[in-house]
Amino acid sequence: MDKDATYSEGEVVEGAPLMNGDGAPSEPLGQADAKAAEYLDLLQRERAAFINFRRRSEAERAESQHYATGQLLKKLLPVVDDLDRALTLAPPGEPWVEGVRMIARKFHSLLEAEGVTPVDAVGQPFDPTVHEAVAYDEGGDGPDVVVAEFARGYRHRDRVLRPAMVRVGKGQAGGNGGPAQAGG
């Protein structure tokens, strides 16, 4: 396309739009403007799609990392449970027991720092999303209530890592003399 346009008087003006005989812009210029507008629209759409892609990719990466962290923490929970059980049976007054207590406190601090919290169980209404009923006591009226905890449950931020293994009683208050309740 020529950058120079010739006017009816015969003079050539550099950079002036091409004109047809009646003074209106020529057809190629209108097509070029339409093409430029189309390309600009496509560029803006692609830029928006790329920004959305980047945002979605970052969210997926964060979710994947969150899931992997949760899986590792879930594997540590039996170790913490074993330490807690060992400490409940440890002989009092032994110096090595205090060292094991310190290690257990470090494990609990690590879990807490990563957003792991224990699930409240005894005395709470039974909730199948956070409690796993392994025993059921008949009798009583009212809603099902957790009366004993066999294994502590844990949450990692908004997800349940491991449900609490519990005994459920129909309309009973917690602590009815069931098996030993896990401390923690």
Conformational region of residue 27, where left means phi above 0, alpha means psi within -120 to 50, and beta covers everything else:
alpha
Domain that holds residue 133: 116-174
b/e code 63-82 from CB counts within 10 Å (16+ = b): eeeeeeebeebeebbeebbe
According to the 3-state scheme, what is the secondary structure of 91-151?
CCCCHHHHHHHHHHHHHHHHHHHCCEEECCCCCCECCCCCEEEEEEECCCCCCEEEEEEEE
- Is 92 among the domain residues? no
Which of 41, 54, 179, 39 has the alpha carbon at shortest distance from 122?
179
pLDDT of residue 35: 92
In the chain, count H helices and then E strands: 2, 8
Residue 134: predicted pLDDT: 86
Number of domains within the chain: 1
Report yes or no on 180 lying in a domain.
Answer: no
151 found inside a domain: yes
Running along the chain, 184 residues long, what does each successive block of 10 average in pLDDT? 51 55 68 91 94 95 89 90 88 85 91 89 86 79 81 88 87 49 42
Q: What confidence score (pLDDT) does residue 58 get?
A: 95
Collapsed DSSP state (helix, strand, coil) of residue 91 = coil
Tens of pLDDT, residue by residue over 112-163, are 998 898 888 888 888 888 888 888 887 656 678 888 889 889 998 888 888 9
Residue 163, domain CATH: 2.30.22.10
